[in-house]
Each structure stands twice: as C-alpha cells, then as structure tokens.
A and B are shown apart, each in its own frame.
Chain A
Amino acid sequence: GQQLNQSPQSMFIQEGEDVSMNCTSSSIFNTWLWYKQDPGEGPVLLIALYKAGELTSNGRLTAQFGITRKDSFLNISASIPSDVGIYFCAGPSPGNQFYFGTGTSLTVIP
C-alpha cells in the first residue's frame, strides 16, 4: 500500500509551546487530511487541504499542503492540555482509498 511517513513519532512538550509535525508521501497527492484521535475514540477531522501550497487554519491549528504535493505540515500554536492525542495525516490513492500515516502521539505537560 501507499507509504505515508509521519514524524515525529511522539512529542512531549510543555503547555504553551508550539508544535510542528509533518507527513511525507512516496507519490503525489491531490488531497491531504489531518485527523486527531482522543483515547478510546475514532479519529476526528481537523483540517482538509485540496490545493498545492494551500495554507489553512482552524483555531490554533495551521496546516499546509506542500508545493511538491508529496508533503504536508501541521502546526499547533500555544498548546493546551486538551491537545493531547494522536495526530494522523491521510491522503488518497489513485483508486481513491485513503491511506494513513502511523501517527504522532502528543503529550502536553501542564
């Protein structure tokens, strides 16, 4: 299947710090999605990106669709305890099936 490399694998940060994570693909995507998963729940969509170079914000979250179309970035500013969770990137295969990265586990220390 499609390889989506997500980094870092885990992060431990102090409350108030900014967070950056990224996702790279071995092939070109025309859509990038970022999801967050809270413990015991299903992933929830944070941001969807549909155009190379696009920069989209959702509150303290900002995501960018890389201009090469093979990568995407997610930034969280001024982290708070409820930002804790696993963040996944996802993109569609040519057959329109979504593949997911292995996730970035975020821990926010109060």
Chain B
Amino acid sequence: NAGVTQTPKFQVLKTGQSMTLQCAQDMNHEYMSWYRQDPGMGLRLIHYSVGAGITDQGEVPNGYNVSRSTTEDFPLRLLSAAPSQTSVYFCASRAQGYSPLHFGNGTRLTVT
C-alpha cells in the first residue's frame, strides 16, 4: 500500500549544486506531476507527464528538468540549484481523466 513515495524527505544544497528528487508510484497511474509549495502560494505545477516518454511544462518549469522512462518513476532534476528553489516539493499521480491526484509526503529542500 505504498502509493506515491518520495525521497529524500529533506535536503540542503549549496547554490549551484545539482540533485535529483525521486518519485515512484505503484498504482499504475499514467499521469504524474511535480508541484512546489511555498507559503501563501498554494501548490504550483512544475512539470507533468501523461505517460512514459511524454513530459510537459506546468506553471513554473524554469530551473527544473524531468524525464519519464517508466510508468512508475518520475524524477525531478535541479541542474544548478538557486535559493529561489527553496521550497517543499510534492509528487502526485492519478489515473486517466479527472481522477483525483494522490500525493507523496514531500521533499523539503533548502538552497543556501
């Protein structure tokens, strides 16, 4: 009953460092997405994927890359971290159509 699993839970980076946030789901969902959550801003969509091999940009894609080689995994890459990327990142997945999103427990990232 894992659902959506995100790793790591916490990460501190220095400006300019790179890292990958991992996301895996075991519900066979075609759709996966990444959101960032900042105080007073709600959840904003970074990138999403409607299936393996297909990705697209959301509202705030700059500074982030994604790929989707399998149905289960949807990693988010920061190539050169900036302090403005300090945030809590959530991965979410859903079945087709207007099915609700299922969220992971988030990764809290601090960039100094």
Assign chain A's interface to a size class: 20 to 34
Contact (Cβ within 8 A) B41 A42: no
Q: Are B104 and A1 touching (Cβ within 8 A)?
A: no
Known: A1-B59, A31-B98. A42 touches B44 (CB 8 A): no
Interface residue A96 (Cβ < 8 Å from any Cβ of B):
yes
Contacts of A96 in B (CB 8 A): 97-98
CB-CB under 8 A for A99 and B45, given A31-B98, A50-B98: yes
Nearest opposing residue in chain B for A98, CB measure? B101
Count CB-based A-B contacts (< 8 Å): 56
Q: State whether A101 and B42 are in contact (beta carbons under 8 Å apart), knowing that A1-B59, A43-B90 are contacts in the complex.
A: yes
Chain B residues within 8 Å of A98, by CB:
33, 45, 101
Given the complex, which residues of A lie within 8 Å of B101, measured CB to CB? 33, 43, 45, 90, 98
Interface size on B, residues (CB 8 A): 23
Complex contact B90–A42 (CB within 8 A)? yes
Q: In the complex, what residues of A have CB within 8 A of residue B35's CB?
A: 100
Contacts of B51 in A (CB 8 A): none
Is A103 part of the contact surface with B, judged by Cβ < 8 Å? yes
Whether A45 pairs with B100 at a CB distance below 8 angstroms is: yes
- On whether the beta carbons of A48 and B105 are closer than 8 Å, the reply is no
The answer to whether A100 and B98 have CB atoms under 8 Å apart is: no
Q: B-side interface residues toward A, CB under 8 Å?
A: 4, 33, 35, 40-45, 48, 58-59, 90, 92, 97-98, 100-106
